[in-house]
A = this chain, B = another copy of it.
Amino acid sequence: MTRLALDVNNMLAPRLQGEGVDPQRLAGSGDLAAAFARAHAEMERRRAAGQLGFLELPHNLDVARTVSELADSFGQWFEDVVVLGIGGSGLGAVMLREALLPPHWNELSDEARSFHPRLHVVDNPDPRTTQSLLERLDLRRTLVIVVSKSGSTAETMALYLVFRERISQVVDADKVRGHFIFVTDPTEGVLRRIADAEAIPTLPIPPNVGGRFSVLSPVGLLPAAICGIDPVELLQGAAAAEGRFCSPDLLDNPAGMLAVLLHAADVERGQSIHVLMPYADRLRALTLWFQQLWAESLGKRSGDGHVGPTPLPALGATDQHAQVQLFMEGPRDKVVVFIATPADDVALGIPRLHADEPALAYLGGHTLGELLDVERRATAEALRQQQRASMTLELPQVDAQSIGALVLLLELGTVYAGALYGIEPLDQPGVELGKQLTYGLMGKAGVDVPEIVQGDERWRL
């Protein structure tokens, strides 16, 4: 197996002319090499202090096996699995389903799914979507996985109450508990108390693993396993890559290089918008998973100021017809991180029809995968010719092992970037105010009802 690689040539001065980074800064006694050494030491210090729980997950093969057993016992009985989880509690499951299962999984026949259940991730308390899903499900054959570390996430808890009541209406009282699995803190919180009281099966989210770093915990592994993805392979892929992504040698550490170059692009050249752009539909959900990871980890107060790049999901070739005009001719405020995947995993030939039409004739004889790969290379080169920065993550294949490795790369890259920005990448204090205002407006006991001053009607046009 060829390993995952990061090609950064199109970030560097030789190719990008005046707009690139001088490669000497990255090697030896260069300042960016030194900055990485400090970030790396910070990572090692935090790891030793037990703060980076996500680094321990790839080694928990026992957890993966427990998940597999639970998944096997449940997966055969249930036709539909519903994950109730928002943010990091939902994005990982969607990312794994899209990357590793056949496209449009829920539209496939039982045979095409090898009799694995459909997988629905409800990541929003939208009444219309939820009602429609409830109408489609046979709740007697539906398993609900409730994912909330604290057990107090308003959106997820509201959805849990809705699903709990509906299931209670169609199955006997003593059977209700068999339709739920809680993925939550191992000792604390509401879900833990309910699970203990009612003997509802649970799987733990380790206390030192935050939501957006939890995809390789049961948060992501359980839904994946129920649909036939091997959790052991996910972990093994991550574990095999760990040495390289934890290496102190920047020149052999793609996670470190990603962080160093994106951070420098932001703070030195104002390239604060970081585009992640795979050329494969199956990785579209990965860009949303990364968006949360990068945005929520790095968007922080820093002293008297505010820092943090803005991650921007994109998809090739589609976005060549939507966002690339802006990337090419708009402000120089972006770096594009392409993801390359093998061109012909599925060899679908373009037939030679209409050979008399020059606008069609050149396509025949190629494959769709070739076309897509050519478009990626053409777009990277077009950006380079405009001295616009990009790099390319190359996946040797898209399977559980390589996705496990890619997850670890991006998670460690986030921790390195947090150190480079000088902020705490593991918390999210900025969402607390909105939560408190929501509690107040919803009438939660003990929370003051906020006074929101009405706007001037004149400015409501």
Q: A420 near B: Cβ within 8 Å?
A: no
Q: Identify which of B153, B190, B272, B438 contacts A378 (C-beta below 8 A).
A: B438
User: With A and B bound together, what is the CA distance between A360 and B159 in angstroms?
Assistant: 11
B295 near A128 with CB under 8 A, answer no
B306 near A129 with CB under 8 A, answer no
Q: Give residues 120-140 of A contacting B (CB, 8 Å).
A: 123-133, 135-136
Q: Give residues 1-49 of A contacting B (CB, 8 Å).
A: 5-10, 12, 14-15, 23
Contacts of A346 in B (CB 8 A): 127-128, 131
The 7 A-B residue pairs with the shortest CB-CB distance in the complex, in nearest-first order: A87-B321, A299-B326, A9-B455, A299-B330, A328-B430, A308-B330, A378-B437
B306 near A332 with CB under 8 A, answer yes
Q: A320 near B: Cβ within 8 Å?
A: yes
Contacts of A320 in B (CB 8 A): 86-87, 431, 434
User: With A and B bound together, what is the CA distance between A159 and B123 in angstroms?
Assistant: 33
* Chain B min CB distance to A264 (Å): 15
Contacts of A296 in B (CB 8 A): 321-323, 325-326
Contacts of A433 in B (CB 8 A): 328, 382, 385-386
Name the residue among A152, A310, A435 with the largest chain B CB count within 10 angstroms: A310
What total of chain A residues lie within 8 Å of the partner, measured CB to CB? 156
B124 near A315 with CB under 8 A, answer yes
Q: Give residues 243-260 of A contacting B (CB, 8 Å).
A: 251-254, 257
User: With A and B bound together, what is the CA distance between A382 and B436 in angstroms?
Assistant: 9
* Chain B min CB distance to A122 (Å): 10
Contacts of A382 in B (CB 8 A): 433-434, 437
B10 near A455 with CB under 8 A, answer yes
A443 near B371 with CB under 8 A, answer no
Interface 9-residue window, one of A59-67, A231-239, A445-453: A445-453
Contacts of A136 in B (CB 8 A): 104, 107-108
B333 near A310 with CB under 8 A, answer yes
A438 near B374 with CB under 8 A, answer yes
A363 near B324 with CB under 8 A, answer no
